[in-house]
Amino acid sequence: MADYDFDLFVIGGGSGGVRAGRLAAGLGKRVAIAEEYRFGGTCVVRGCVPKKLFVYASQFPEHFEDSAGYGWSVGETAFDWPTLVANKDKEVARLEGLYRAGLEKAGATIIEGRAVLTGQHEVAVGDKTYTADKILIATGGRPNPHQALPGHEHCIFSNEAFDLKELPKRIAIEGGGYIAVEFANIFHGLGVDTTLIYRGKEILGRFDQDMRRGLHEAMEAKGIRILCQEVLTNIEKNADGSLEATMKSGKVENFDQILLAIGRIPNTEGLGLERAGVETGVKGEILVDDYSRTNVENIWALGDVTDRVQLTPVAIHEAMCFIDTEFRGQPTTIDHDTIATAVFSQPEIGTVGLSEADAAEKYDELEVYRASFRPMRHTLSGRQEKMIMKLVVDAASRIVVGAHVMGPDAGEMAQLLAISLKARLTKDAFDRTMAVHPSAAEELVTMYQPSYRVKNGERVD
């Protein structure tokens, strides 16, 4: 066996790379992990964590309004954007410190700098080259730069949205996925005149249609303008710093900021993959098998850089499977089936399993259970916002194959629903479960009769 500097060299200090590096080092392996920016990756530094903090901040105006119905007099309120940004930075720094401390405690060697493959077993960082028996690539993804859009250089992306020097008065967001939708709600909640521009017929493609339409209506009711089947065609910067946006329809409007949220692409450019012979796909994603192995026997990849499922918990799960397979002698394939997810919009969406449309393509007959109601927390506040709950059931087996919730704490519910759907429980098991009263979630176990059926893709009332 060749004498290498390390047993494992991890490229990328995000959630997946850090988990793999820490666990391997904890098993006594000689591990190096290289990161060119900050440990924690997209999720901790410029994704899930700061986004959720901004979501919380943007919800307070509605909380202040709702409190009056419960007897509270809040008085005059004011929001300070620099304070939010500064406090967010403190929390991100704290979390990054925990990531570093975990690696150091496990005995991993931390290398700061951009790592580039120079061979099958070689990695260069700056002017130094390291050798490793195994190499794991976990460099994540980045926002699609939309270079085909004239004037794209004047726009911002989700990365920059967290650190703007000042809050804009008017913002346009192009995109209809969860990132675009979440930022539209964040900026609107913070008092920004917000326009969402999306090329499709309805926001949140691939989500259940009831969730998509329900959220669309709720967002518009709040005052967010949504332009579907529309795209930006040109951006020009005015003398006063504002941006003039031209759209496909011919509309021309001015905004203070334009945020592009039209997908993310794998971070593989300039990694030296071709030198090591690692194969990539059409979007630059690293191609891997069910064990996260690339075509090169000693090189693996996981997380967003593989463009399988772009979610932080998925990258962590893939890292655990990699460790089991390569260092614990327990070959473990990755299970990407029935993954719960949430859209931290306002109202929130939590979902797991198949949408009604996808289930209709897979099963001959469905039972669909659907409820729409005003949650109890809105009764005294007077807020008219509705909650939607939906269960999609395979009629033949009675197995619940999809669960979808829109409303307060929907993401929390989705996490627990995921256990039931992963266990392939039947609707009968839901029916036998006692309700927690009074709660919104009790509706999930008290919808005894289907709202309608779907046979051969057609709805039957």
Active site residues: 437
Those residues with Cβ within 8 angstroms of residue 288's Cβ, 6 or more apart along the chain or in another chain: 294, 300, 301, 302, 306, 308
Among 160, 176, 155, 169, CA closest to 219? 176
CA-CA distances (angstroms) from residue 218 to 14, 223, 229, 261?
34, 9, 19, 21
Residues 6+ apart with CB under 8 A from 302: 16, 17, 20, 136, 137, 138, 288, 292, 315, 318, 319, 322
**DSSP string covering 386-434:** -EEEEEEEETTT-BEEEEEEESTTHHHHHHHHHHHHHTT-BHHHHHHSP
Contact (CB, 8 A) for 130 and 5: yes
Which sign, positive or negative, has the C-alpha torsion 379, 211, 345, 180?
A: negative
Task: Dump the DSSP string for 324-381.
Answer: HHHHSS-------SS--EEE--SS-EEEEE--HHHHHHH-SEEEEEEEEE--GGGTTT
Q: Which two tokens stand for residue 44?
A: 């901790």
Residues 404, 421 contacting (CB under 8 angstroms):
no
Instruction: Name the strands in the sheet holding 225-228, side by side, starting at the edge strand that comes first in the sequence.
Output: 225-228, 193-198, 170-174, 257-260
Distance (Å, whole) CA 94 – CA 21: 20
* DSSP structure string for 135-185: EEE---EEE---TTSTTGGG-B-HHHHTT-SS--SEEEEE--SHHHHHHHH
With residue 323 as reference, give the H or E element that holds it.
Answer: helix 312-327
Contacts of 316 (CB under 8 A, 6+ apart): 15, 16, 19
- Copy the structure tokens of residue 75: 């008085």
> Rounded CA gap, 148 and 167, in Å?
27
**Residues listed for the chain:** 461
Question: Which residue in 377, 347, 387, 374 sits closest to 70, CA to CA?
Answer: 377
d(CA 12, CA 16): 8
